[in-house]
Amino acid sequence: MTEIVEKLRNIAIVGHGNAGKTSLTEVMLFKAGVTNRLGRVEDGNTATDFEPEELKRQISISSGFHQYSSKKYTVNLIDTPGDQNFLSDTKLCMQAAEGIAVVIDAVDGVKVQTEQAWDFAKEFNLPCMIFVNKLDRERADFSRVVKDATEIFDDPKPIILQLPIGSESDFRGVVDLFSMKAFLYDESGKATAGDIPSDMQEAAETEREALIENVAEADDELLERYLEGETLSDEDISAALRKGTVSRAFSPVICGSATNNIGVDLLMDFILSSMPSPIDRSPRIGEDPDTGNELERAPDPDAPFSAFVFKTVADPYAGRLTLFKIVSGKLGGDGTFYNTTKDAKERFSQLLKILGKEQKPVTGAVPGSIVAVAKLKETTTGDTLCADNAKIRFQCAEPLPTLISYAIMAKDKGDEDKIFISLTRLLEEDTALRIDRNAETKEILLSGMGQVHIEVTTEKLKRKFNVQAQLKTPKVPYRETVKKKVRVQGRHKKQTGGHGQFGDCWIQLEPLPKGQGFDFVDKIVGGSIPRQYIPAVEKGVIEASQRGVLAGFPCVDFRVILDDGSFHAVDSSEMAFKVAGSLAFKKAVEQAQPVLLEPIMEITIITPDEYMGDIMGDLNGKRGRVLGMDTKGKNQVIKANVPMSEFLTYAPDLRSMTGGRGMFFIEFSHYDEVPAQLAEKIVEEIKASKE
């Protein structure tokens, strides 16, 4: 059984959007005989892009899973999305892989999203290889891409394993520097091995020398022999190539063209020979849920069962599908396990493997397997599953933070609850979404990674749950505060006929420093207001502060000191003092120079150098304040404070400024005063919208 685990490969295909990951996956499945027709992204018939939202846009939105067998090996491919909007799924699904193949477009080169995927690999300590794709395209440039990759990716450092033969429309094959053979491809993707073309002989020899030196460095003993001038055998080099790849000493670079079916067979061979199996990875560390003590699980079939859930798919008919990776032990075709995260026992009736859009029952699975079950009751993404009698909890990666929010409403009146319930279901499968009900503005806020992400979500709402949603830019949660100290009287008196009402208080209102909220101080002496009425005054103040005098936003950062008042033996009541407190507060705010506060966000923008000018100009125009700048690889990183109101829809702006090459993170920072002129305009607009 250990041999099955040794011969298992879980490879995530990652890289920037449009690099050719889905096309490459398609060719691999075709070559392995899994499919009998080669699909194309343009025709909407690939094995791993099948959701209507993907077909419409011709991009991957959710990671696709598929499997092939070759030479007694089983290879699971995870075709991840490269678009910024869907990178959270990429990150979470990369956890199920033992190694990644980074696809780089030979024309576009390394992009910000390529770097992000590379950073995720580093975070998960995943071995990497690079496939330089689209060498058939006009302006494709293998050396430039490798040079860029070497500058940007230092850990693990790229090393060249192949050279392209011919370029652009004349791209015909590759020279393999390990076997020192040329592979030339015909139109069907069939390779003929032969001698290296004479004009490439010299370059190939130089590169082979560099390769062997790099590879030898992964093994001290080998390096010593190499430095002493010994000629290393093919077995030595091949073993060291595998060792260095698996230990992240380097990441081998190979090349080809997915759509022209060049170099794909060599990629498949490399996955078998040099990429890690579950056994090559160190045991996964977890903790005992009862004691918090560290525990570990190795990919041993005889160890107790443990697994973690990295993805959930919401299906309104078939129910929830839970995808998990088995870390240790075995699982049968049906049975039970324990969910440590939810503290719940779960039962499943059919273990499944995922083959594109289909699921196929399996009778069992070993460590390292990527499998799924349907209709679990409690389990969601990120949970740990394990044997009842050997509990463990693993740490899972968090989804990426959301970047953009929209107010979401039902198109048809009365569908609001349905929207909310359906969104909750979608949140199960897409953990990069967030919904909040804003108590202040009464809106349902849908937050995600970008505009396209939010749009796709409304399309899924329609398709999966048959509810139509409308999106609107959300309202900005402004606040109000005061700038001056004042003292006023609040007097509530109604003493005409029957039982009257009487409450009278004097309060001081003063500003507090930013972010301090609210403070109420009781300084009544001599019983000018009886004890039992003092909380009522405070209640009145709090109630009035919920709706500020400027535009009805909550008032914050102030102190109220109650220092005097009077009462009536019969007519005073809690209600009367509450009204008095409320009146006093409103009067005080009007005199205390009220101002509007707006939420300020901290934004981090990562962009290639050439767009810096445009981005900085745009930041200035949007009242941004730059906090600092830094470089990261070939990119610039800008940090700035920006008003939320100006950045509600920044994703499309940045996309158009940088041709999709820039990206950003944004999070709430603090509240700050709105410049007076602008505040006036906002207040007027809000008043007008209320009328």
Ligand X SMILES: Nc1nc2c(ncn2[C@@H]2O[C@H](COP(=O)(O)OP(=O)(O)OP(=O)(O)O)[C@@H](O)[C@H]2O)c(=O)[nH]1
Q: Using CB under 6 A as the criterion, which residues of the chain lie in contact with ligand X when the complex forms?
A: 15, 17-23, 40-42, 59-60, 81-83, 133-134, 136-137, 257-260
Nearer to ligand X, 62 or 341 (CB): 62
Give min distance, CB of 269 to Mg ion, in A: 23
Nearer to ligand X, 15 or 450 (CB): 15
Nearer to Mg ion, 103 or 549 (CB): 103
Which partner in ligand X, Mg ion, none is near 20 (CB below 5 to 8 A by kind)? ligand X
Give min distance, CB of 142 to ligand X, in A: 13
| Contact flags string 404-433 toward Mg ion, x per CB under 5 A | ------------------------------
Residue 468, phi then psi, degrees to nearest 5? -95, 130
Nearer to ligand X, 276 or 660 (CB): 660
Report the distance separating Cα 557 and Cα 548, nearest Å: 12
Residue 129, phi then psi, degrees to nearest 5? -135, 165
Give min distance, CB of 312 to ligand X, in A: 20
Q: Is 298 helix (H, G, I), strand (E, B) or coil?
A: coil
Question: Judged by CB under 5 A, which stretch of 18-26, 202-210, 453-461, 558-566 contacts Mg ion?
Answer: 18-26
Residue 37 near residue 270 (C-beta atoms within 8 A): no
Which partner in Mg ion, ligand X, none is near 340 (CB below 5 to 8 A by kind)? none
- Give, as one character, the DSSP assignment of residue 305: P
Q: Residue 21, interface with Mg ion (CB under 5 A)?
A: yes
Report the distance separating Cα 603 and Cα 593, nearest Å: 31
Nearest alpha carbon to residue 21 among 83, 95, 88: 83
Q: Which residues pair with 104 in a beta bridge?
A: 132
Range 40-49 burial, b when 16+ CB lie within 10 A, else e: ebeeeebbbb
Distances (CA, A) of 174 to 32, 214, 264, 266, 593: 20, 20, 11, 9, 74
Place of tokens 């995808």: 323
Nearer to Mg ion, 20 or 474 (CB): 20
Q: Is 664 helix (H, G, I), strand (E, B) or coil?
A: strand
Give min distance, CB of 44 to ligand X, in A: 11
Give min distance, CB of 199 to ligand X, in A: 24
Give min distance, CB of 2 to ligand X, in A: 34
Nearer to Mg ion, 60 or 572 (CB): 60
Give min distance, CB of 21 to Mg ion, in A: 5
Residue 341 near residue 309 (C-beta atoms within 8 A): no
Nearer to ligand X, 34 or 385 (CB): 34
Nearer to Mg ion, 60 or 481 (CB): 60
Give min distance, CB of 136 to ligand X, in A: 5
Give min distance, CB of 46 to Mg ion, in A: 8
Size of the site for Mg ion (CB under 5 A): 3
Q: Residue 458, interface with Mg ion (CB under 5 A)?
A: no
Distances (CA, A) of 360 to 77, 364, 577: 16, 12, 70
Residue 385 near residue 346 (C-beta atoms within 8 A): yes
**Dihedral sign, CA of 279, 281, 282, 284?**
negative
Nearer to ligand X, 259 or 636 (CB): 259
Per this entry, what is the length of the chain? 691
Give min distance, CB of 446 to ligand X, in A: 22
Which partner in Mg ion, ligand X, none is near 137 (CB below 5 to 8 A by kind)? ligand X
Which partner in Mg ion, ligand X, none is near 129 (CB below 5 to 8 A by kind)? none
Which partner in Mg ion, ligand X, none is near 393 (CB below 5 to 8 A by kind)? none
* Binds Mg ion by CB under 5 A, chosen from 22, 62, 257, 359: 22
Nearer to Mg ion, 60 or 260 (CB): 60
Site for Mg ion in 45-64 (CB under 5 A): 60
Which partner in Mg ion, ligand X, none is near 17 (CB below 5 to 8 A by kind)? ligand X
Which partner in Mg ion, ligand X, none is near 23 (CB below 5 to 8 A by kind)? ligand X
Nearest alpha carbon to residue 539 among 503, 511, 568: 503
Give min distance, CB of 49 to Mg ion, in A: 6
H, E, C per residue of 311-339: EEEEECCCEEEEEEEEEECCEECCEEEEE
Nearer to Mg ion, 80 or 636 (CB): 80
* Sequence-distant (≥ 6) Cβ neighbours of residue 183 within 8 angstroms: 173, 174, 175, 176, 191, 192, 193, 263, 266
Q: Residue 18, interface with Mg ion (CB under 5 A)?
A: no
Report the distance separating Cα 200 and Cα 163, nearest Å: 9
Interacting residues with Mg ion (CB under 5 A): 21-22, 60
